[in-house]
Amino acid sequence: AAAYFSNLMAIPLIAGAGLVEARHASVDIAQVGAVPLLVGCIVAFLAGVFAIRFLVAMLRRGRFYAFAPYCFAVGLFTLAYALWHG
C-alpha cells in the first residue's frame, strides 16, 4: 500500500517538474503538438504503473536476489565507462 500511495503522491510533483522543465526545452513544444505529448504522457504513466506493480510483486515474493547479477553488471559497466571517458 505504501508503494502505491507514494506513487500517487509523486504524480503532481512529476507533473510540476515537467512543466517547469518545459520552459527550458530545446524544441518548441507548440510545434510538437498536443496529441504526441498526450500519448507520451499516457505511455510513460502506464509504464510506471507496470514497473511498480512488477517490483511490488517481486518484493512480496522475496525474489530481489534475481536482480543482483544485473545490478552488478550495470555497476561495473558504469564504473568502466566513467573511468574510460573521465
Mean pLDDT by 10 residues, the chain (86 residues): 78 86 78 87 89 84 83 96 91
Q: How many CA atoms lie within 13 A of 53 on its CB side?
A: 6
Integer Cα distance of 62 and 81 in angstroms: 32
DSSP 66: G
Q: Would the pTM of this model clear 0.85, i.e. be above it? A: no
Q: Domain tally for the chain?
A: 1
* Closest C-alpha among 84, 4, 16, 1 to residue 48: 4
Residue type, 4: Y
* Domain containing residue 21: 2-85
- The torsion defined by the Cα of 67, 70, 71 and 74, in degrees rounded to 10, comes to -160
